[in-house]
Amino acid sequence: MPFLGILRRHPVARACAAGIFLFGFAGAATSPYQSVIAIRELGMGDAVYSLVIFAAAVANVLASVAIGIFADRRASYRRPLLVTTGLGAAGFAAVYLLPSAPVFAFALVGPVAIYGASNALYFAKAKSHEADFTAAESEEVGTLLRMMISLAWVLVPGLVGFALTGRASLLPAYLIAALTALVALAVLAAGLPADRERPEGAARAGLADIRSLATPGLALRVLATALATSVLHVNAAVLPLIVTGQAGGTAADVGVIVGYVAVIEIVFIFVWALICRRLSMPVALAVSMTLYLVYLQALATAPGMGQVHAASVLAGIAAAAIITLPIPYLLGLIAGRPGLSASLIAINQFLAAGIGAGIFAGGTALGGYPAAAAISGAAGLLGGVLLLALDGWRRQPMVAQ
């Protein structure tokens, strides 16, 4: 496998692949139980919890942009990764060791939100070493990093769920996350190579670079990408409700579907990477959005579990593209600024979540969960078409990160 050769030859690929897997591990260990712990175990009210989650999302975006600018200005990505990972370990540990609603809120809005910037930093660090890779290796490194975080989300929720079975409290999930972040910190400290020297004559990044985020062309491209990825947020909300409602399934069916869809996604990450050697990212994303629209329409009209299962296979194929293709596209939007361009990943996630929440609220008010699914599919396809209108059908080489 080409990945094995890359891992043998490039220490930065080894360290980033291990680090981003452990980053995904920590998130997958805690996210499924976060609301239950906050509301049922720590006594946080529903409205307060919603406010904390929103504040944490804002803090993550601000931290990602600020750290990206700092990293570019210093041409330093190793130290920010060490700092954010250490803060993540401290935040998870605080929730476990000092379980209370105020500590939970502080940890999520503070250190854990800053730790979330690590996701973009791994891609930025790998991108800063792109001179060490051939063009083919660059694409493969990016595919590898995207695969590792997806792999964590396939493996970890079930393993952690099994480990917590029968326990009176779910708080040990945060202990697992804290230990995982500490392991990641050790891996990075021991194996992450030093940063490359800034190329002679390269302009220093600064606060003025924030203006580049507000240019009409960039803003439209980020909005279009967020429209496309918002379908994943809506699907996460409506799938369990439709399965356990009109389709006549159970909560166990939801778990089965999520599991095999994740496996399909991992396989098709490689397939879409191969496809994008011949097609441009906007074309590939528009195709995947069309497939996802068909899936959401089938889900919205599903009379039973047979149709849900059949449609979910299509969902896995399309979601593999929707999850992974925007990452190299976003990273290529701001030339020469690996850190700042990587922060667009966090901005995209924030906007996609907001758009998804708005579609879910509006769709359910108009026609229930099926309407939300149908509207979401149309909005996602609109995002794909907008990218095609902005960038055309030409193939643009996909930078791995």
- Residue 182's pLDDT is 97
Q: Please report which confidence band the pLDDT of residue 3 belongs to, taking 50, 70 and 90 as the band edges.
A: low
d(CA 276, CA 395): 8
- List, for residues 336-393, the tens digit of each pLDDT value: 677 777 778 888 888 988 898 888 888 888 888 899 899 999 999 999 999 888 887 6
- Residue 400's pLDDT is 35
143, 400 Cβ separation under 8 angstroms: yes
Burial letters 209-219, b for 16+ CB under 10 A, else e: beeebeeeebe
- Residue 331's pLDDT is 76
d(CA 68, CA 61): 10
Query: How large a percentage of the chain has pLDDT more than 90?
Result: 32
Higher pLDDT, 233 or 6: 233
6, 141 Cβ separation under 8 angstroms: yes
Burial letters 267-286, b for 16+ CB under 10 A, else e: ebbeebbebbeebbbbbbbb
- Residue 267's pLDDT is 85
Average pLDDT rounded to a whole number, residues 287-311: 93
Average pLDDT rounded to a whole number, residues 176-185: 96
- List, for residues 65-109, the tens digit of each pLDDT value: 888 888 877 778 899 999 999 999 999 999 999 999 999 999 999
Rounded to the nearest 10 degrees, the angle between the axes of helix 172-191 and helix 135-164 is 150
Chain-wide mean pLDDT for the chain? 84
Q: Is the pLDDT of residue 326 over 90?
A: no
Which of these, 156, 148, 153, 88, lies nearest to 122 by C-alpha position? 148
Higher pLDDT, 39 or 307: 307
- Residue 13's pLDDT is 87
- List, for residues 247-298, the tens digit of each pLDDT value: 888 877 877 887 788 888 888 888 887 887 787 888 888 899 999 999 999 9
Q: Please report which confidence band the pLDDT of residue 401 belongs to, taking 50, 70 and 90 as the band edges.
A: very low
